[in-house]
Amino acid sequence: KQWYQRRVRGGVVVWDHGEREDGKDSIARQVFPAAHWPELRVLVCVVKKEKKGIPSSEGMKRTVVTSGLFSRRLENVPQRLESLTAAIRDRDFPTFAGIVMRDSSEMH
């Protein structure tokens, strides 16, 4: 399984899900260098300094167990990842933004 992840290595990376229960084989690898689309930026806004009541990893564990919609979302990931990769490759911002916004809406 592969998922797009935050920019942790510069450029655009893919998160390889891995198979191990402990997650130690879950790694990010770069698929496009930062120079590929230098105008693309990621903005992170911190709205609270306080620690969240439920950490993200715990929240995801709860989602997997309790959300009937989450498994449906996962079914769309391979096609969405392919489309997103093509949009990044082609520097097609309208398509890129549409995919990202649909994915974000499904997560929240």
pLDDT of residue 84: 95
pLDDT of residue 5: 46
Handedness of CA 29, 80, 91, 97 (dihedral sign): negative
pLDDT of residue 9: 62
pLDDT of residue 48: 86
Instruction: Give the predicted TM-score (pTM) of the model.
Output: 0.75
Closest CA to 63 of 107, 4, 22: 107
∠ CA 34-35-40 to the nearest 5 degrees? 60
What is the full per-residue pLDDT of the chain (108 aa) written as tens digits? 555 444 456 788 888 888 888 877 888 888 999 899 999 988 888 888 888 899 888 888 898 899 888 888 888 888 999 999 999 999 999 999 999 999 888 776
